[in-house]
Structure 1
Amino acid sequence: MEAPLKFLCILGMLVVFVSIGGFERVEGAGECGRSTTPDNEALKLAPCAAASQDASASVSQSCCAQVKKIGQNPGCLCAVLLSNTAKSAGVKPQIAITIPKRCNLANRPVGYKCGPYTLP
């Protein structure tokens, strides 16, 4: 009788610890902050669709404005470029990574390693 009670107590403690750990991850900030995900941020870069697939395509002012905003956090910009939403939209990361430079953004993240790519 004592062994099953001990087992139930240990099992209960494990459930509590796993629950607490799970809540921390849900409330913790990701690459793009607390209130958004890289996939949601990727949707904001819709004006960059053509420029992210063709290195010779012109980059619109609305695209540059969004990249400038997201690019203030290089980790977020990287996560957005490599996100599932970007991939499903046909974004080519090796081309998309050049957009901050093509926008002539003075405060762009230069030399930041983004997966296998480096921001020029």
Structure 2
Amino acid sequence: MSVHTPHLTGAGSVKGKGACGRLSPDQEAVQLAPCAVAARDGKAPVSKSCCLQVKRIGQNPRCLCAVLLSNAAKAAGVKPQVAISIPKRCGFAHRPVGYKCGRK
């Protein structure tokens, strides 16, 4: 299954101070393509490649939230309330428990 993200070609400018560093959340979202089904269905299995990408991006909870709320994620049908459960479903002991996306 593929994730359709038509508006990512040439997406945005590269910046160093965004939520995800030098890449935009839309650019980072492309790396989460292996998570497409698991991000829409809380009962779907989470692949090893998905867990590896979530672990990398999840080191910065602010970036992970920005990715889950990005235009690319919306276009792919990601349900943020389901996607935020992926770190737990991957069995990560160190995950942003209680972290609220979109709130300070």
> TM-score band, normalised by the shorter chain?
0.7 to 0.9
CA shift, 1:108, in A, is 1.0
Q: 1:88 aligns with which of 75, 79, 88?
A: 75
Question: Which string of whole-angstrom CA distances, capped at 9 and with x for unpartnered residues, describes residues 44-92 of structure 1?
Answer: 0000000001010000000000000000000000000000000000001
AA at the equivalent of 1:44 = Q
Structure-2 separation of matches of 1:73 and 1:92: 20
Aligned to 1:100: 87
Query: Any idea what SS the aligned residue of 2:63 has?
Result: helix
Structure-2 separation of matches of 1:28 and 1:48: 26
TM-score normalised by L of structure 2: 0.82
Q: 1:69 aligns with which of 56, 78, 94?
A: 56
Aligned pair in 2 of structure 1 residues 47, 28: CA closer, same or farther (>3 Å)? closer
CA RMSD in angstroms, aligned pairs only = 1.4
Identity of aligned residues (%): 70
Q: How many residues align?
A: 90
Q: 2:20 aligns with which of 17, 20, 32?
A: 32
The runs of at least 4 aligned residues of structure 1 exceeding 4 Å deviation read none
CA contact (8 A) 2:65 2:101 kept: yes
AA at the equivalent of 1:31 = A
Bigger share in helix: 1
Structure-2 separation of matches of 1:103 and 1:28: 29
Structure-2 separation of matches of 1:27 and 1:63: 25
Question: Which string of whole-angstrom CA distances, capped at 9 and with x for unpartnered residues, describes residues 14-53 of structure 1?
Answer: xxxxxxxxxxxx85510001x2010000000000000001
Structure-2 separation of matches of 1:69 and 1:27: 19
TM-score normalised by L of structure 1: 0.71
